[in-house]
Amino acid sequence: MPTGYFALVLHAHLPFVRHPEDPTVMEEQWLYEAISGTYLPLLQIFEGLQADGVPYRCTVSLSAPLITMLTDDLLKIRYADHLDDMILLAEK
C-alpha cells in the first residue's frame, strides 16, 4: 500500500480592530473570542501532542493585522481585563 502524506496548514486572520479611544468597542471582542476560543486551545492541543510523544507537523500562518494586534500592549491589557470580566460573570 502506498504511503500518503497529509499537510495541515492553518491560516489565522482578523481585521485590525484597535480603538484606543473606546475600551468597549464591540469589534475588539472578535480578537478576545479568537484568542480564548481558538488560538489558546490550539496551543494546548499542540502541547498535549508533544507531551504524549505524538509526532505531528502543522503550519500556522498569521496575518500581519493579527500579529500586530496580538503584540499590541493596549490590546494585551484589554484582553486581561476581558478575562477578569469573564471570571466575574462566571462567578455570578
pLDDT truncated to tens, each residue of the chain (92 aa)? Answer: 778 888 899 999 999 999 989 888 889 999 999 999 999 999 999 999 999 999 989 999 999 999 999 999 999 999 999 999 999 999 99
C-alpha span between 88 and 50 (Å, rounded):
33
What does the block give as the cell for 36?
480564548
DSSP string of 9-24? Answer: EEEE-------TT-TT
Domain spans of the chain, in order of start: 62-92
- Bridge partner list, 10: 60
Residue 4: its pLDDT value, please? Answer: 85
34: exposed, middle or buried (C-beta count within 10 Å: 0-12, 13-18, 19+)? middle
Q: What are phi and psi of 45, to 5 degrees?
A: -65, -45
Residue 51: its pLDDT value, please? Answer: 98
Residue 80: its pLDDT value, please? Answer: 98
One-letter amino acid of 11: H
Q: What does pTM read for this prediction?
A: 0.86
